[in-house]
Chains A and B, each alone.
Chain A
Amino acid sequence: MSRILVTGIGLVSAIGNNAAENRKSLAEGHCGISQLEGFPSRFAGIMPFGEIKIRNQQLIEKFGQHQAGVTRPCLLALMAMEEAIADASVTNAELSDFSTALINATTVGGMCLTDELFHDANAADEGSPYLSSYDCADTAIFLQKHYRIGGIINSINTACSSSANSIAFGAALIKSGRAKRVIAGGVDCLAKFTINGFNSLHILSNELCRPFDISRKGLNLGEAAAYLVLEPEEELRGKKYYAELTGYANSNDAYHPSSLSDNGVGPYKSMMDALEKAELLPAQIDYINAHGTGTENNDAVESIAMQRVFGTVPAFSSTKANTGHTLGAAGSLEAAYCILNLSNQELYPALQFETAIPETGYIPNLKFKPAEIKHVMSNSFGFGGNCTSLIFSLT
């Protein structure tokens, strides 16, 4: 069975416009969560958000995307894709070949255009330029046309675990011989729709989120785009690679539409199944990039599930304290962060943490430090009980 290697990464988030900037921010313990500036909302100034401070018009100019109907997710995805493709040295000919696949994930899609969607859905006389931009497939279809990608194109939505599943689906395409090269990841933008949705569930914090802290009050929403280029070992021909995707598993908590079961049935199963797929023992995991949203429910359940899997938990942290919760982009963004951990042999400090939760007493890694790490896990759990764990290894 061919090994699946990560040959390129590309990412943009509230803490940086590319991988190098993100790494620097993580190492320095920089928090990118700030006041909302991009669009008017009642919550601007009241709640902080992990906003990328680049306006759409700047991206339209930069990439020459002046045609009608191009949305912020398309533009941010394009920015991250440019970096990933260059990083992996994927040629135009390779992109157009039937063996190159693109798997995108998003939960909001073009619905970030809340007011335009309201207008179009409620029988206006004339449509806006965004009539075909609202659904979750729009970004993948935009990217396919832009790069003339010739292979399988797909879009996935499993809520907050979406882009972890696009990586797993991409790996399956390679393993089954249906693709030789997969660009997999996700994008989500801040939107009135999700801000009000999460607020109606009372899980947004009006302060900076505090993952795994006893006094955590909820999550901060963020926005990001992140893509990984995956290629099988035999196609590499001497090209550099960062790490191997050794484990991936998807399970369902089957408990409640918007919260996790007390002892974390789904999170436990996704972590255990990913370990089995990677043929690793729990003790071999050196670091976990936890889902760690900063909500009461997630962090308690995830801690208990980690305790059940690991007993003594390895170093862990949630980078959502840096970026906010980027929903459909979180899985691939945090996978890219795991690649940075591995390729630089370093751990980044958890932010806004003071006191451990009583159930487990778990304290995340609090300091930047060089570390010998070989296997890292990334957890992503979403509404609808959708849980996915990925494992990357230096091999």
Chain B
Amino acid sequence: MLFIHDTSCISPQLSFGDVDLQLLQPVVNRRLMAKEPDYKGIPPGILRRMGKAVRMGVGAAVPLLQRAGIPEGIILGTAIGGMEDCIKFLNQIIEYDEGMLTPGNFVQSTTNAVAAQIGLMNKNTGYNITHVHRGLAFEMALLDTFMKAEEQPDALWLTGAVDEISSYNYNIERLGGWYKEEIVSNEDLYNSGTKGTLAGEGAAMFLLSGIKQNAFAKIVAVETIHTDDAGFVAERWNRFLENNPSDLIISGDNGDSRLNQYYAHLIPDPNNGTDLVRFKHLCGEYPTASSFATWLACYILQGQPVPGSLYQFPAKNPGYKSISIINNYKGQQHSFINLSCP
């Protein structure tokens, strides 16, 4: 059991500082770009050198660290880290034909740069790790934290995830056919009937421990699966729900018609009280988008109202106490996360 003591999220919506999810921030040119704050907690000289992923990751972590001091360790998930710096360095290699290059982009480009930068600023010499398992990078960070909290229940861990859209990884994913060709608004994402989705990005951070005191929610279970068999996913999901009865399901449906099969079984039975919401029209699709869903679940478990745009079917049963998230990345990597009131 992982108890959540604090959380923070930089996303394409108004999720940082004064949260307002009713006022939907629109998609621009197939991208949901993060609303970056002014990063008051980061010294300007350091901020200037940071790539976007590092900036968002550190920026989301700073308020938690300001309140918590020095946690026992830093456990992050990111699929691509500082992709923009990575390709900037790559472009230098090609353009200058392997000539004299500046190392700044290279150092910022490594996927462990976010956790490293947080460790450096926090003077944190404890456990420091970056999980990079694509669509399950955040889930692996959670699993790692579960194991740490089982060994040292009273220690506090900074756990989270970050991924950015740079023009470069946008190009790679677009060439792969993962984004919509037509222009789609946030509201129409789920009704398009076409392949592809909207690009997204963000950072979500959590302070976690094995101790219930002062926690506002808990993460009960995380399960991950590698398969493209929708039937197998449905079978495992049903078993997950039996073990973790839930009154709200958060679905990772991203409007890609090819992936509908993995969510088709979620259509709720009218006789049971479970509600169903979707979130990718808020944050877009990115490998660690389930960290946004986890932040959203925390927000809902704290009694905040669920915006109407999230409901797939009319709400029957607000006042949720147990929430399960189902997500998949490109139909290959699947995850279930259950959270509930402490």
Contacts and interface: CB of A to CB of B under 8 A. Distances in A.
Interface of A: 41-43, 107, 111, 114-115, 117-118, 120-124, 126-127, 131-132, 134-138, 140-141, 144-145, 149, 152-159, 165, 169, 172-173, 175-176, 178, 192-193, 195-197, 199-201, 250-258, 265-266, 269, 382-386
B68 interface: no
A290 to B, nearest CB: 20
B117 A257 contact: yes
A153 B226 contact: yes
A135 B272 CA distance: 42
A144 B92 CA distance: 34
A256 B167 CA distance: 29
A156 B143 contact: no
Question: Which interface class (under 10, 10 to 19, 20 to 34, 35 or more) fits B?
Answer: 35 or more
A41 B110 contact: no
Interface of B: 74, 79-81, 86-87, 89-94, 97-103, 106-113, 115-117, 119-120, 122-134, 136-137, 140, 143-144, 146-147, 150, 167-169, 171-173, 175-176, 224, 226, 330, 332-333
A157 B112 contact: yes
Contacts, number: 196
Contacts of A172: 144, 147
B70 to A, nearest CB: 10
A250 B101 contact: no
A121 B119 contact: no
A152 B103 CA distance: 36
Contact of B172 (A115, A120, A165, A178): A120
Contacts of B132: 135-137, 155-157
B224 A152 contact: yes
A269 B112 contact: no
B259 to A, nearest CB: 15
B103 A121 contact: no
Contacts of A196: 89, 92-93, 98, 101, 106
A252 B125 contact: yes
A160 B172 CA distance: 27
B175 A120 contact: yes
A127 B126 contact: no
B134 A383 contact: no
B120 A385 contact: yes
B171 A154 contact: no
Nearest to B332: A141
Contacts of A136: 79, 111, 132
A174 B3 CA distance: 23
Nearest to A149: B226
A201 B113 contact: no
Contacts of B79: 135-137
